[in-house]
Structure formats: structure tokens, C-alpha cells
Amino acid sequence: MNKAASTQRKRRKGPPSMRFKFDGDWWTVKVQRPPSKELCEGMAHYRRRTVYLHPKAVSGNLLGIVAHELAHVTMPCVDETNIRDHERLVSVVVRWAASLNEGKVTIGQHRADK
């Protein structure tokens, strides 16, 4: 795998981050307070192609926040009410699926650089 296709950034000073490719564009996910949004748990910044996950939120409702922000990335024209419905449904179904597997969630082998 070449450096451009790397999905995990090498450890540097600063927030943990990773990259993924969606619809031909590279996006970055950072565990960092969203710019100018102290109270937000997460934010999808389209111009910067960056998803921010607030550090305090990572230990709480991480699955819901990730589902919510990635819904914004993949469906930018969808209103906030439907994005919240998507977040809730993903969380409920994953929680149920985990209950079928002794509370464990298995992650597929999908690559983020395709």
C-alpha cells in the first residue's frame, strides 16, 4: 500500500485521526473539538472534508455520533431530523446485533482507501 492510500495517519503531535475515501474525495476524521462548536459532539465540515468527533463524546455515544456525522458526509442534502433518525436506527440495530453475539460487534474487512 502506498503512502497516499494509507488510512491511518502516523502518530504525530495532535489529535488522533484517520482518513477515508468517499465519492472520490479523501476525508479526515479527527478526535478534536469541532471548530467554534464547543457544545457539539461532532461535525462534518464539507469544505475541509473533515469529520470532527469531540473528545468528550468519544467515551459516550461514539457509535451514534459516528453514524450521525457519516450520514451527513454520505447524504448532505438530508435534513437534520432524518439524519437523527438514521443515527438512532443504526445504534438500535447494532446494539441488537451485538446482543446476539455476547455483546460483541464484529467489524467487516472493508478498506477505506477504495
Poorest-pLDDT segment among 13-17, 43-47, 68-72: 13-17
pLDDT in tens, 47-91: 999 999 998 888 878 889 999 999 999 999 999 999 999 999 999
Q: Where are the domains of the chain?
A: 7-99
Instruction: Provide the mean pLDDT of the chain.
Output: 84
- The overall pTM is greater than 0.85: no
Instruction: Indicate the fold that domain 7-99 takes in CATH.
Output: Zincin-like (3.30.2010)
Distances from the Cα of 26 to the Cαs of 5, 9, 31, 46, 86, in angstroms? 10, 13, 17, 11, 23
pLDDT score for 18:
94
DSSP characters over 45-77: ETTTTEEEE-HHHHTSSHHHHHHHHHHHHH-TT
pLDDT band (50, 70, 90) for residue 45: very high
pLDDT band (50, 70, 90) for residue 103: confident
